[in-house]
Homo-oligomer: A and B are copies of this chain.
């Protein structure tokens, strides 16, 4: 393990991250909300600690290796989670315990969007802005991680239909490739955010709300500057804009890159994963709307309006809300929460298990049935025109089962904390899928559950974001052996 290099990277990371306190200081001064103090202190602490970590190892010049990537990636999230929690903990206006401050920060950075705060409408603008920005930064980190880092570690959905072997380049030099890819992704991410923000603004949001919600839409985050979430605006236009950008942000960012380079949108309809996602979204939104229509909860127009919005919000794992689905018959939110296990496409900011994995599991299930009927037949699993190797199919199954296992273990932990079944069921799924909202005791916010439960949910968020295996590898003796 190259510990000195790890320290250097994390030190640099912290110094860069400290700069993200500056916009909040500016917002605080503009709105004169009095919360600038917390951000200034946080800025100084984070930059000082980062500098202190970087200084003694600044001349360390070794290249990072694939294997170090596992540790660095896990520490990346933990260190940012802690750094991000500082202003939330310090600001007297939100008076959070440290557990709550970390939960809020981590939920933001992982783009989960579960909140422990009530009375969001009354918070200082700078704190509101900071929460939204945490999600946006987290989303950026996730894209880079999903598109550039995890595939090199052999983890994640991205490489599933790209290469034949899960670990393509052993001990390859990571840095140059990451930097190049990250830059292209950054432009796409920024463009999406700007267009989304402009659309929100044009549709009637205030400038502040437009920026804030474009941050959490493109990041599939789900934080809002209002307790009532997107429902606050009560605008069909705004809801439509949100739906469009949730769907766009659920696409593989590599697909946006291809579309941008070729100046053509045809790839959105050719990519097998995004096509499957569109079909799932359509089926889910129709099912939900028709269900709402049949049970007479709303008028026909409202049934489709709320049905479509909530379906897309939960499927993409955004977690924005316009309707109170806790008053729906339980099976309707049940299906939406189950849909969040699918999530968006690999290489997007969305959570869940990712569409490509669900697609592969489905196709392999079909192959099993074909094999039973024709025992001597040879069948291969294909995505698009590409044959998927058995090794890749196996890695998907491995992912699927550890995902379920992680869900079961954290489920057990939350029950042991004394939470009821519906609360536990929804909260664990919501955290693991980086979705956000819950049912039961966490229907409104996560503030009232025990501290241990909050930490367990943070673990679930981390596992979801790290596609589980990145963290799991660190717990094997083999990893730490020379």
Contacts and interface: CB of A to CB of B under 8 A. Distances in A.
A398 B381 CA distance: 13
Contacts of A374: 478
A286 interface: no
Given A390-B394, A394-B397, A167 B330 contact: no
Given A397-B400, A421-B422, A331 B416 contact: yes
Contact of A401 (B66, B67, B154, B361): B361
B365 A330 contact: no
A369 interface: yes
A330, A374, A402 — most chain B CB neighbours (10 Å): A330
Nearest to A404: B404
A162 interface: no
Interface in A392-446: 393-395, 397-402, 404-405, 408, 411-412, 415-416, 418, 420-422, 425
A415 B331 contact: yes
A367 B478 CA distance: 12
Given A365-B402, A394-B368, A375 B165 contact: yes
A371 B334 contact: no
B421 A372 contact: no
Tally of this chain's copies: 2
Interface stretch (A26-34, A42-50, A129-137, A469-477): A469-477
A218 B81 CA distance: 54
Given A371-B167, A421-B421, A397 B364 contact: yes
Contacts of A393: 394, 397
Contact of A372 (B335, B394, B422, B469): B469
A402 B363 CA distance: 12
Interface residues of A, number: 59
Contacts of A364: 394, 397-398, 401
Given A397-B364, A401-B365, A412 B166 contact: no
B412 A375 contact: no
A182 interface: no
Given A393-B394, A398-B365, A401-B361, A170 B376 contact: yes
Interface in A327-367: 329-331, 334-335, 338, 361, 364-365, 367
A411 B375 contact: no
Contacts of A402: 365
Nearest to A333: B415
B334 A411 contact: yes
Given A334-B415, A394-B394, A421-B425, A371 B408 contact: no
A370 interface: yes
A376 B167 contact: yes
A473 B422 contact: no
16 contacts: A70-B372, A153-B372, A165-B375, A170-B376, A335-B412, A361-B401, A365-B398, A367-B394, A367-B398, A368-B394, A368-B398, A373-B473, A373-B478, A397-B401, A400-B401, A421-B422
A-B CB proximity, top 4 nearest: A167-B375, A368-B398, A397-B397, A331-B415
Interface of A: 66-67, 70, 153-155, 165-168, 170, 329-331, 334-335, 338, 361, 364-365, 367-376, 390-391, 393-395, 397-402, 404-405, 408, 411-412, 415-416, 418, 420-422, 425, 469, 472-473, 476, 478-479
